[in-house]
Amino acid sequence: MANETKIGLALGGGGARGLAHVGVLSVLAREGIPVSVITGASFGSIIGAMYACNPDIHHLLKEVERALRSDRFQKAKVNFVRHEFEEERRVGLISSFKKFLKRQMFYSVAFRMRQLVSEGEFTQIIDDLVPDIAFEDTRIPFACVATDISHGAEMVFDEGPLRPAVYGSSAIPGVFPPIPYRGRHLVDGGWSNRVPIRPARALGADLVIAVDISEAFQDEPVEHLKNGLELLIRANQVTGRLLCDSQLVEADVVVRPKVGHLHWAAFDQAAVCIREGARAMEAGLEPLRERLDQWQKGDRRPFGRRGGDYR
């Protein structure tokens, strides 16, 4: 593989589904395909930062496993959100009534509180994973995106302290607090850039592999939407899917691990996510090599997906 071709890896957001990024990286490492640039949004910024600091897949796996077992992570309240929606597929009057009551409790809590996890708890979880260094000191060039919630702007960070930018990039609104940084208040980067492809090119990537771990999007009969809030949530899902699709067309290869059915807080499904990430990247190896061959033969169009999605 010619050294002059720089491969960028754009890692999308999706909470626990982002553990699929570990599987993607494991296949690239196994195949000897060097990653020259990494970008991330939301959980993709955490995995991306970890690997950019220490591009050793065995170290990454070990650190992820350690963090998920840690008391600090276990005490975090992210499972509260997941458990409120786990009974979706159960049937019967009693279970339906219980589900209704739990949803009302969740909505009540969500509307009264700005976040479920305090800033201190949240940043400590990130600190356990991401070294306290500058972007300039990562071993692989790295950038992450966050959303300025006050001014409605996408923010791309590729210089200065690493941790605060990752805090902002991964701060899911309503679950984690907005992160004050450089005069702005930052939330999850996935709200402005689902899979940061353009930032990867700005860092010098010639070809970009985009990894999309978005929630599965399926047709939803309007009669299934019981109230105004559910209609609002559905409309937001439509907006997110259209935004993501409009951005993915700029990638050379799109990898979509089959994890969209999992809740973003399903961290107990880590093994499934990693396995599906590896499977999807394996399916994308041949088209990636074809695109590399095209590039090295002079087909150097600035962007554009070739050959569809790989799952």
* Catalytic annotation, residues: 42, 188
Helix, strand or coil, per DSSP, at residue 162: helix
In 10 A of CB 294, how many CB atoms? Answer: 15
Residue 175 has a CB neighbour count (10 Å cut-off) of 22
- State the Cα–Cα distance between residues 179 and 146, nearest whole angstrom: 10
Strand extents, DSSP E, the chain: 7-11, 37-41, 142-148, 153-157, 179-181, 184-188, 207-211, 253-255, 309-310
Distance CA 113, CA 105 (A): 12
| Cα 64 to Cα 293: distance, rounded to the nearest angstrom | 34
At 41, give phi and psi (nearest 5°). -125, 135
Instruction: Tell me which residue of 118, 202, 121, 125 sits closest to 159, measured CA to CA.
Output: 202
What distances in angstroms separate CA 239 from CA 98, 210, 246, 279, one per listed residue?
Answer: 31, 19, 11, 28
How many of the other CB atoms lie within 10 Å of CB of 151?
9
Q: In the structure encoding, which two tokens stand for residue 241, read together? A: 């899917």
Would you state the structure tokens that stand for residue 109, as one six-digit string?
Answer: 């809590």
What pairing do the DSSP bridges indicate for beta strands 142-148 and 184-188?
antiparallel
